Amino acid sequence: MAKVLVIAEHDGATLNPSTAKCVSCARAIPGGEVTVAVCAADATAVAQQAARLQGVHRVLKIEDPANEHPLAAVLAPQLVQAAAGFSHVLGPSTTYGKDLLPRLAALLDAPQVSDIMAVEGARCFRRPIYAGNVILTVEVDESAPVIVGTVRTASFQAAAAGGTALIESFRPTSKLPTHTRFVGVSQAKTDRPDLQTARRVVSGGRALGSAQGFEILYRLAEKLGAAVGASRAAVDAGYVPNEMQVGQTGKIIAPELYVAVGISGAIQHLTGIKDARTIVAINKDPEAPIFEVADIGLVGDLFEIVPQMEKLLS
């Protein structure tokens, strides 16, 4: 039987939605019994949220004052002990998971399968390579003591609520390093939905022309209840902060509606929106590659179209 340990991502108070998607991936492993590990200074609230996810069998609280901030070097040695007896260890393919899971895999002497987009068997997984231009199916050898994987969250539905898992404490005995210190994190405060999990996303490219140009997108997004994203070109031009970047090197998202405004559609951007249900493209260049993937295309001046849309939605 497969025993799957899912490493929860959270901010100390709230479970990140990526965890519910990892649970769905874990449940897709034949015979998978799912345990969620929550590392925190005080894991009570997050553990309760994890316990309510359908399909979760058990939640392990791993509490230590050193776990207040997610430092891979601090968490990995504790999770090595927690992972004993598991056949799989999964985490989200977010910056949190991509930082932590390989460190854990090395300590476990385990191979890692990155960006799992589908489970074909207990040892067989599909994943994108070459920026999503190739889909690779891999099989992990039986000699691997445990399989470590990061889960491409855009490829899985979130596990629903309604579970009642047991919550237990796990106390690792590992000595924790002090060579890494969390100083702080800065993020733009916004009332808009979170880009990674929003059902609707409006994104802008370099054609917006300036930080001010993005204002028309913010207004449209407000009408749509949408999050706002951006192309790498817009981020590099300094119009918006980097956490708004959508694409291979930014966020990979799967909203129901994605509206690309003034985005030409470089491969690296398209990689980030492949799983969007409906893609709308607004661009003045009828030859822009974004139109090749758009479900609805509109050729024209974004500075006219976007305010018109906003008015029509009022």
Question: Binding to another protein (CB under 8 A): which residues in 90-119?
Answer: 94-96, 98-107, 109-115
User: Considering the rule CB under 8 A, would residue 249 count as an interface residue with another protein?
Assistant: yes
Q: How far apart are CA 67 and CA 47, in angstroms?
A: 14
Q: How far apart are CA 60 and CA 102, in angstroms?
A: 21
For the beta carbon of residue 111, count every other beta carbon within 10 angstroms. Answer: 16
User: Considering the rule CB under 8 A, would residue 285 count as an interface residue with another protein?
Assistant: no
Residue 214 tokens, joined: 């993005």
Interface residue with another protein among 40, 216, 280, 288 (CB under 8 A) is 280
In terms of Cβ atoms closer than 10 Å to its own Cβ (0-12, 13-18, 19+), residue 266 is middle
1/188 with CB nearer another protein = 188
Using DSSP bridges, classify how beta strands 227-230 and 200-204 pair: parallel, antiparallel or unpaired.
parallel
Q: How far apart are CA 230 and CA 242, in angstroms?
A: 9
Interface residue with another protein among 224, 246, 253, 260 (CB under 8 A) is 224
Is the Cβ–Cβ distance between 310 and 220 less than 8 Å?
yes
User: Considering the rule CB under 8 A, would residue 279 count as an interface residue with another protein?
Assistant: yes
Is the Cβ–Cβ distance between 307 and 216 less than 8 Å?
yes
Binding-residue pattern over the window 38 to 67 for another protein, x denoting contact by CB under 8 A: ------------------------------
User: Considering the rule CB under 8 A, would residue 296 count as an interface residue with another protein?
Assistant: yes
Q: How far apart are CA 241 and CA 312, in angstroms?
A: 29
Residues 152-181 that bind another protein (CB under 8 A): 177, 179-181
Is the Cβ–Cβ distance between 38 and 50 less than 8 Å?
yes
51/244 with CB nearer another protein = 244
User: Considering the rule CB under 8 A, would residue 190 count as an interface residue with another protein?
Assistant: no
User: Considering the rule CB under 8 A, would residue 135 count as an interface residue with another protein?
Assistant: yes
Q: How far apart are CA 93 and CA 136, in angstroms?
A: 17
Query: Which range of residues in 21-29, 51-59, 162-170, 298-306 is near another protein by CB under 8 A?
Result: 298-306
Interface residue with another protein among 185, 191, 212, 287 (CB under 8 A) is 185
Helix (H) or strand (E) holding 252: none
51/117 with CB nearer another protein = 117
∠ CA 116-120-123, nearest 5°, is: 80
Query: Which range of residues in 40-48, 122-130, 159-167, 211-219 is near another protein by CB under 8 A?
Result: 122-130
* CA-based nearest residue to 52, from 187, 181, 160, 213: 160
58/126 with CB nearer another protein = 126
Query: Could you tell me the smallest distance in angstroms from the CB atom of residue 120 to another protein?
Result: 8
Number of shown-chain residues binding another protein (CB under 8 A): 87
Residues 21-40 that bind another protein (CB under 8 A): none
Backbone angles phi, psi at 263, to 5 degrees: -110, 125
Query: Which range of residues in 46-54, 57-65, 70-78, 204-212 is near another protein by CB under 8 A?
Result: 70-78
Query: Could you tell me the smallest distance in angstroms from the CB atom of residue 234 to another protein?
Result: 13
For tokens 């939640």, name the residue: 59
User: Considering the rule CB under 8 A, would residue 262 count as an interface residue with another protein?
Assistant: no
